[in-house]
Amino acid sequence: MVSETKISIANPAPLGLLGFGLTTLLLNLHNAGLIKLSIVIVAMGFALGGAAQIIAGIMEFFKNNTFGATAFTAYGFFWWSLIIIWINPFEGIAAADLTSMGWYLLLWGVFTLLMFIGTLRLNKGLQVVFLSLAVLFFQLSMGDFTGNIFFTRLGGWVGIFCGASAVYCSLAQVINEVYGKTLLPV
């Protein structure tokens, strides 16, 4: 008789949401015009926005959660790709311009809007995060396509809300699990 061992892993979503949320908050403080783009944002994007979300996404694959696996790994690699765009380490490759960044952000907005449709079967908290993220990408895209800083600044405020919403969803899952009941609804 063969014995089957089941391995149980912790819920990776709070880590992924926290990585996404804090990094989104920090970058959008810049987009809103409140802080400068600095190594602080780059480091947060690499470590928490990128690596933590990628780890959470891989863990979601093991939990057989296609939505979580796709979302966390995709957005984790978004942060890494954005950092590569900012530092442009490839000699002979032109730096990003407003048009190429506009397309980059527009494509992420379309992806996010389609992922939002998936959240309609999930909780309200994730619906808020994904809808506000889609709006953020579209606002930033418009800012780049038009060269109008108003859209970027407005997007920054949407991004602050989006990041704060993701942090709330992360902490709600942790606190609700620790207490074994819903203290923070999502």
At 86-95, the pLDDT tens digits run 999 899 999 9
Residue range 106-160, pLDDT digits in tens: 999 999 999 999 999 999 999 999 999 999 999 999 999 999 999 999 999 999 9
The secondary structure of residue 61, as a DSSP letter, is H
Q: Does the pLDDT at position 5 exceed 90?
A: no
Residue range 11-52, pLDDT digits in tens: 999 999 999 999 999 999 999 999 999 999 999 999 999 999
Q: Is residue 184 assigned to a domain?
A: no
Q: Is residue 126 assigned to a domain?
A: yes
Angle formed at CA 78 by CA 63 and CA 36, multiple of 5 degrees: 130
Q: Is residue 38 assigned to a domain?
A: yes
Mean per-residue pLDDT for 162-173?
Answer: 98
pLDDT for 89 equals 87
Which helix H or strand E contains 9, and what residues bound it?
none
pLDDT for 1 equals 65
CA distance 117 to 150: 28
Under the phi-then-psi rule, with left for phi > 0, alpha for psi from -120 to 50, and beta for the rest, what region is 92? left
**What percent of the chain lies above the pLDDT cut of 70?**
98
Angle formed at CA 89 by CA 81 and CA 155, multiple of 5 degrees: 40
Average pLDDT score over the chain: 96
Please give the model's pTM, rounded to 2 decimal places: 0.94
Contacts of 173 (CB under 8 A, 6+ apart): 11, 13, 14, 17, 186
Which helix H or strand E contains 183, and what residues bound it?
none
Q: Which domain holds residue 117?
A: 13-179
Mean per-residue pLDDT for 61-83?
Answer: 97
Mean per-residue pLDDT for 74-79?
Answer: 98
How many separate domains does the chain show?
A: 1
Mean per-residue pLDDT for 149-172?
Answer: 98
Q: Is residue 8 assigned to a domain?
A: no
Q: Is residue 144 assigned to a domain?
A: yes
Mean per-residue pLDDT for 74-85?
Answer: 98
